[in-house]
Structure 1
């Protein structure tokens, strides 16, 4: 059995370096972080509840400062782990932050739209 052609390599139509991808993902981290905080507090103001028990505890105890402290801690852990990765894998760090926060924004917007 030959492995010639068994694996095809697909390239995206534009040339994106890992550094450019990482920069774009850090922008998405910032946008999704702000979006998550804003939509969370709008939802809470409308009577919705925070479903994450750690975030709920931080918000109940410290309000916005508690939520921002959690976000800062998450970004800090990502930045602390980033240097141990090879350059090509460094975009994983902001992706790991941006993806769940972007999903949270979508869920928050859906929940807000259900009560407005």
Structure 2
């Protein structure tokens, strides 16, 4: 038995292609980024403090622009690394950005709800 010339094609459930999944995840990146930034600044306005040292430094030094630049830098790293992956696996890049930012936004909402 030979695997010469064989290729492995990954299929997702339903009619979702890896490209469709990646597009959806980039949309979630945008939403989670906005949610994280908005909830962070609402929390800061209410007297809470930023727990991420990198974000805290960016905010203390440059305000909203610093936070946006920090997020843009993370997206930039993801976009630079994305072509290194096979097409089927490129959705991991937006997923790796969206998951922690969405988790941060949820945690921010919870923390804000405890002081309001």
Write the distance in 1 (CA, Å) between the matches of 2:97 and 2:12: 23
Structure 1 runs not aligned, ≥5 long = 1-10
CA RMSD of aligned residues (A): 1.1
| Deviation digits for residues 8-67 of structure 1 (CA, Å, limit 9, x no counterpart) | xxx865221000000000000000000000000000000000000010000000000000
* Corresponding residue number in structure 2 for 1:28: 28
Match of 2:51 in 1: 51
Distance 2:105 2:14 in 1: 28
Q: How much has 1:81 moved relative to structure 2?
A: 0.3
Structure-2 separation of matches of 1:13 and 1:73: 33
CA distance in 2, matches of 1:104, 1:85: 26
The CA distance in 1 between the partners of 2:114 and 2:12, in whole Å, is 38
In structure 2, what is the equivalent of residue 74 of structure 1? 74
TM-score normalised over the length of structure 1: 0.89
d(CA) in 1 for partners of 2:99, 2:15? 22
Residue of structure 2 equivalent to 1:64: 64
Is 1:104 the counterpart of 2:104? The answer is yes
Instruction: Give, in whole Å, the separation in 2 of the partners of 1:13 and 1:65.
Output: 40
